[in-house]
């Protein structure tokens, strides 16, 4: 029998027989690993241990000690939910039930559920876990599967689409329950140590609002009650930090029904923060020799057809007819920047040419997927595109990455790096993609940067290096990105004159330092819990006169603090109430001024950590604020020990 070669996480290669499975690979590595194998990761995809491997596959073995194990366990918990539901409501129809980063969900219909029903379902789930039912994979014929799901249009949809052409289909069986599923799963229901159902919502089948509305039940599962308790405590804190809640309390933004879904309005407080973020990004861009440009919100769709976006994004675009011509709100800024580059003639000496723009873009996400600022229809990318010679790629990507690291360091965020490769839906030749991916891999390896591989997660026009980061609660968020693109210069016929006086094709590099302002703003709200660093805070200083007699002095102090965002609390409240209100509003500094302060020309300073100092010189305080602002310190530190 012929052999094939797979790649292991340590960089080594392993020869196995053709037709080998993930489990076969594990046994080839060692009998102990084979016995402990629960699942595998093949080319970045979590699969059952019975899944076949192919020549050149990247294979990771998953055991109960692996990071991926919890996802496998949660997938089984989704099946336990479905089994419990059908024990209590035999008429219920099942759609899909995947694991998620925080647990699992199952979409169901033909049953009327509300939050009060979750406790009984959860009790039945715990019974199933207590029964410790073996979870076994079985193969069914297509005919048997179609017969089984004769009355279930959702499972039949899966059979006719994702499983189209498969003569044998994977089912998982536990007790009386069976479900069409590729897996993977843990070996028995008893492996689930703790489970909790969290909430109910509605969802469209396949996320399409033109399809039927289903009931979605969310839950989570862990190996132990201790882990579940820690998660629930973290979840409660996350709810307190929810950017929608803090956004209302601090009057940062709103998304009213009258504006349309996913179209946020930024109030003065929110806009002040966004302006500071924009000025910071602009300073980094100008330091790196980027030039500002601006492109319109609307283009003829000819531009999007030329760039390839029309074929790849048309379902997500807002289109309209104007005088019998089709136009579209821009889903990306890059075609506009490529068009600007194309308006001039360039020499090799001129390159790299670098543009930046805070560009508003529009994506027609399904309504069910919209959520606060994390997923919207209208958002702004701190976009940058540069055009360079092939030999300049590595130095330009290094410079971009340095700027990204400066952004993340400024906010105290630790970066996680991933290389995202060619997606199934893409443009360009194999040769171009291999060259692009090789260039990015070279940059990462030459700088000794640890990175994960994300197969198939690249942009449709090129591979990318993605940066994610953890917030104060340990949650991981997508953020900045840098992408190499050999395709768009080809599609736009971009050229420069080389040293040989011949025309050459530039390379286009896409990059964003934040990702999008909306997503980054959302993360910052929750990361800082509304307690923004002084330089970002919408209100930086609040002056609290002890009585109305000091209102005049309070305004003189405000004037002496220059251009900082300073207010005077002139309501006839007690000092205690004024202080409490300032604390609740997350103001970094409060200045208390009374008769003594007015006589001495000083201030008493109180920060939001409740530290205080009296007899402070106004000049000294202003000089400190200037330094704190310029250095973008994370915490107010005038009164730091």
Residues paired with residue 16 on neighbouring β-strands, in sequence order? 4
Vertex 492: Cα angle to 481 and 435 (nearest 5): 50
Task: Determine the Cα–Cα distance for residues 207 and 179; give it in Å rounded to an integer.
Answer: 21
Across the chain, mean pLDDT equals 92
Q: Is 510 annotated as a binding residue?
A: yes
Q: How far is CA 394 from the centre of its chain?
A: 26
- d(C-alpha 335, C-alpha 295), whole Å: 10
CATH class of 266-295+332-528: alpha beta
Higher model confidence: residue 411 or residue 366? 411
Report the alpha-carbon distance of residue 64 to residue 73 in Å, rounded.
9
Check residue 369 and give its pLDDT. 74
**501 secondary structure, DSSP code:** S
The CATH class given to the 69-240 domain equals alpha beta
Please, which pLDDT band fits residue 1 given cuts at 50, 70 and 90? Answer: low
pLDDT at residue number 165: 73
**Alpha-carbon gap, residue 594 to 578, rounded angstroms:** 13
Q: Find the mean pLDDT for residues 353-382.
A: 89
| pLDDT 10s digits, 464-495 | 999 998 888 888 888 899 988 888 899 999 99
The pLDDT of residue 329 is 93
pLDDT for 112 equals 92
User: pTM of the prediction?
Assistant: 0.82
Examine the pLDDT at 282 and tell me if it is beyond 70: yes
Cβ-defined contacts of 205-209 (< 8 Å, 24+): 205/95, 205/107, 205/154, 205/157, 206/157, 207/366, 207/368, 207/369, 208/366, 209/366, 209/367, 209/368
Architecture per CATH, 541-630: 3-Layer(aba) Sandwich (3.40)
Distances from the Cα of 278 to the Cαs of 245, 319, 363, 512, 535, in angstroms? 24, 29, 22, 12, 13
* Burial of 501 from C-beta contacts in 10 A (0-12 / 13-18 / 19+): exposed
pLDDT band at 519 (very low <50, low <70, confident <90, very high): very high
pLDDT of residue 164: 67
- Measured distance CA(454)–CA(534) in Å, rounded: 37
Mean pLDDT of 126-140: 95
List every span in the chain annotated with CATH 3.40.50.800.
Answer: 541-630
Q: What is the pLDDT of residues 342-356, one digit of tens each?
A: 999 999 999 999 999
DSSP 485-497: ESHHHHHTT--EE
* Residue (of 386, 313, 309) closest to 353 by Cα position: 386
Question: Residue 502: pLDDT above 90?
Answer: yes
Q: Return the sign of the alpha-carbon dihedral for residues 552, 553, 555, 556.
A: positive
Closest CA to 384 of 424, 354, 417, 356: 356
Banded model confidence at residue 432, pLDDT cuts 50, 70, 90? confident
Percent of the chain, pLDDT > 70?
99
pLDDT at 368 over 80: no
pLDDT value at residue 47 = 92
Q: How far apart are CA 228 and CA 198, in angstroms?
A: 12
Q: What CATH architecture is 3-62?
A: Roll (3.10)
Instruction: State how far the Cα of 592 lies from the Cα of 580, in Å rounded to an integer.
Output: 13
Domain with CATH 3.30.980.10 in the chain: 69-240
Provide the CA 156 distance to its chain's centre, in angstroms: 32
Q: Where in the chain is the domain with CATH 3.10.20.30?
A: 3-62
- Give the whole-angstrom CA distance, residue 584 versus residue 272: 19
pLDDT of residue 166: 76
**pLDDT at residue 361 greater than cutoff 70:** yes
**Average pLDDT rounded to a whole number, residues 162-181:** 88
Q: What is the pLDDT of residue 89?
A: 96
524 and 371 Cβ atoms separated by less than 8 Å: no
From CA 50, how far away is CA 35, in angstroms rounded?
Answer: 13
Contact 339, 364 (CB under 8 A): no
> 76-111 pLDDT, tens per residue?
999 999 999 999 999 999 999 999 989 999 999 999
């Amino acid at each position: 029998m012929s052999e094939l070669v797979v790649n292991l996480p340590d960089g080594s290669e392993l020869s196995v027989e053709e037709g080998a499975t993930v489990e076969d690979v594990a046994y080839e590595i060692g009998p102990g690993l084979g016995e402990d194998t629960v699942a595998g990761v093949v080319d970045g995809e979590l699969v059952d241990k019975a899944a076949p491997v192919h020549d050149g596959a990247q294979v990771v073995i998953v055991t109960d000690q692996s990071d991926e194990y919890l996802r496998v366990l949660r997938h089984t918990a989704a099946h336990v939910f479905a089994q419990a539901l059908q024990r209590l409501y035999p008429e219920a129809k099942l759609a899909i039930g995947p694991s998620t980063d925080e647990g699992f969900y199952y979409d169901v219909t033909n049953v009327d559920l509300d939050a009060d029903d979750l406790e009984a379902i959860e009790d039945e789930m715990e019974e199933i876990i207590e029964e410790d039912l073996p979870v076994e994979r079985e193969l069914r014929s297509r005919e048997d599967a179609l017969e089984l799901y004769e009355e279930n249009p959702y499972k039949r949809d899966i059979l006719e689409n994702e499983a189209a052409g498969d003569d044998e289909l994977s089912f998982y069986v536990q007790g009386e329950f069976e479900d069409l599923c590729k897996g993977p799963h843990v070996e028995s229901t008893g492996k689930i140590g703790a489970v909790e159902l969290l909430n109910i919502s509605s969802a469209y089948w396949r996320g399409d609002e033109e399809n039927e509305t289903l009931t979605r039940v969310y839950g989570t599962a862990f190996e132990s009650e201790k882990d579940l308790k820690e998660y629930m405590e973290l979840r409660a804190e996350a709810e307190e930090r929810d950017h929608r809640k803090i956004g209302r309390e601090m009057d940062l933004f709103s998304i009213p029904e009258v504006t349309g879904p996913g179209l946020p309005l930024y109030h003065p407080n929110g806009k002040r923060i966004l302006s500071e973020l924009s000025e910071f990004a602009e300073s980094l861009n100008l330091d790196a020799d980027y030039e500002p440009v601006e492109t319109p919100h609307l283009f003829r769709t000819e531009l999007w057809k030329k760039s390839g976006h029309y074929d790849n994004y048309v379902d997500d675009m807002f289109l309209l007819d104007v005088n019998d011509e089709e136009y579209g709100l821009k889903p990306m800024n890059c075609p506009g920047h490529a068009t600007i580059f194309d308006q001039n003639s360039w020499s090799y000496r001129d390159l790299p040419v670098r543009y930046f723009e805070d560009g508003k873009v529009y994506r027609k996400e399904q309504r069910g997927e919209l959520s606060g600022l994390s997923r919207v229809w209208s958002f702004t990318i701190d976009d940058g595109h540069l055009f360079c010679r092939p030999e300049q790629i590595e130095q330009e990507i290094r410079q971009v990455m340095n700027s990204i690291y400066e952004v993340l360091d400024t906010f105290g965020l630790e970066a996680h790096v991933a290389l995202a490769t060619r997606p199934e839906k893409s443009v360009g030749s194999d040769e171009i993609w291999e060259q692009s991916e090789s260039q990015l891999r070279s940059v990462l390896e030459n700088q000794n940067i640890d990175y994960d591989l994300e197969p198939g997660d690249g942009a449709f026009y090129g591979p990318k290096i993605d940066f994610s980061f953890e917030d104060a609660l340990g949650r991981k968020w997508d953020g900045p990105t840098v992408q190499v693109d050999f395709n768009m210069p080809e599609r736009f016929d971009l050229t420069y004159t080389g040293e040989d006086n011949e025309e050459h094709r530039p390379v286009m590099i896409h990059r964003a330092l934040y990702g999008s302002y909306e997503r980054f703003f959302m993360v910052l709200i929750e990361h800082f819990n509304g307690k923004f660093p002084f330089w970002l805070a919408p209100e930086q200083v609040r002056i609290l006169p002890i009585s109305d007699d000091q209102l005049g002095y309070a305004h003189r102090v405000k004037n002496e603090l220059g251009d900082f965002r300073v207010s005077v609390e002139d309501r006839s409240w007690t000092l205690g109430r004024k202080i409490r209100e300032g604390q609740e509003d997350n103001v970094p500094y409060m200045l208390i001024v009374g008769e003594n302060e007015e006589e001495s020309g000083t201030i008493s300073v109180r920060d939001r950590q409740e530290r205080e100092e009296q007899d402070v010189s106004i000049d000294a305080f202003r000089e400190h604020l200037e330094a704190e602002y310029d250095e973008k310190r994370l915490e107010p530190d005038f009164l730091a020990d």
